[in-house]
């Protein structure tokens, strides 16, 4: 069975790290799976887009469409991207069908302390415009299938929570 596992959360919460490990686990089990990381997709396919709400929505919908195509051909899609707006995440849920939302939760104060690139600091000084969580909103998921809390869990624990959900619900 193919499905889309959609990791959402603020910058630095752990979406890329957790999704990459889940991807590795699924590869070990010989699943047909593809990892779509928002940063990599933006660099390679969305250079024409800014960080405006309209362009963020376009980017999230594009990746949703790619995920649907992958699923149609029997490939599990793992997506890691901020996807800050609830309405577009819900549109993807409806469009894709077999959609599992994973909220990678971490408080803003912890993210600011973790911020190795200094992005949050730059955003607070106004040097980065439309930065999610600072000068642009992040709409919290209201009913994600899975929640991991990276301020309390290790990477291994968060990966185990996601994998356990997939096993318990007969996705894998």
Domain around 24: 4-169
CATH of the domain at 87: 3.40.50.300
pLDDT of residue 45: 62
Question: Model pTM?
Answer: 0.91
Catalytic status, residue 67: no
pLDDT of residue 49: 55
Between CA 30 and CA 132 the distance in angstroms is 36
* Residues tagged in the binding site annotation: 9-16
- Residue 92 and residue 99 in contact, taking contact as beta carbons nearer than 8 Å: yes
- 101 - beta bridge partners? 6
Residue for token digits 């302390």? 113
Q: Which one of the listed residues 67, 77, 83, 158 is annotated catalytic?
A: 83
Task: Convert the pLDDT of each residue in 65-110 to its tens digit.
Answer: 999 999 999 999 999 999 998 999 999 999 999 999 999 999 999 9
Q: How large is the greatest C-alpha to C-alpha distance in the chain, in angstroms?
A: 47
* Residues tagged in the binding site annotation for ATP: 9-16
pLDDT of residue 53: 65
CA-based nearest residue to 151, from 115, 113, 110: 110
35-51 mean pLDDT? 67
Between CA 161 and CA 156 the distance in angstroms is 9
> Is the predicted pLDDT of residue 137 greater than 70, yes or no?
yes
* Banded model confidence at residue 48, pLDDT cuts 50, 70, 90: low
* Banded model confidence at residue 121, pLDDT cuts 50, 70, 90: confident
Domains in the chain, number: 1
CA-based nearest residue to 7, from 93, 99, 79: 79
> Is the predicted pLDDT of residue 50 greater than 60, yes or no?
no
pLDDT of residue 129: 83
């Amino acid at each position: 069975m193919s499905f889309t596992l959609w990791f959402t959360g603020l910058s630095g919460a752990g979406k890329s790290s957790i999704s990459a490990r889940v991807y590795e686990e699924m590869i070990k089990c010989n699943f047909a799976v593809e990892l779509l990381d928002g940063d990599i997709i933006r660099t390679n396919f969305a250079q024409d887009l800014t960080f405006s709400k309209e362009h963020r929505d376009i980017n999230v919908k594009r990746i949703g469409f790619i995920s649907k195509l992958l699923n149609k051909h029997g490939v599990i899609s793992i997506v890691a991207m901020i996807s800050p707006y609830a309405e577009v995440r819900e549109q993807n849920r409806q469009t894709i069908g077999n959609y599992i939302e994973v909220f990678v939760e971490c408080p803003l104060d912890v993210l600011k302390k973790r911020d190795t690139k200094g992005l949050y600091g730059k955003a607070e000084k106004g040097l980065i415009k439309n930065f999610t969580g600072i000068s642009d909103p992040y709409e919290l998921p209201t009913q994600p299938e899975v929640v991991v809390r990276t301020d309390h869990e290790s990477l291994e624990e968060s990966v185990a929570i996601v994998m356990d959900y997939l096993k318990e619900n007969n996705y894998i």
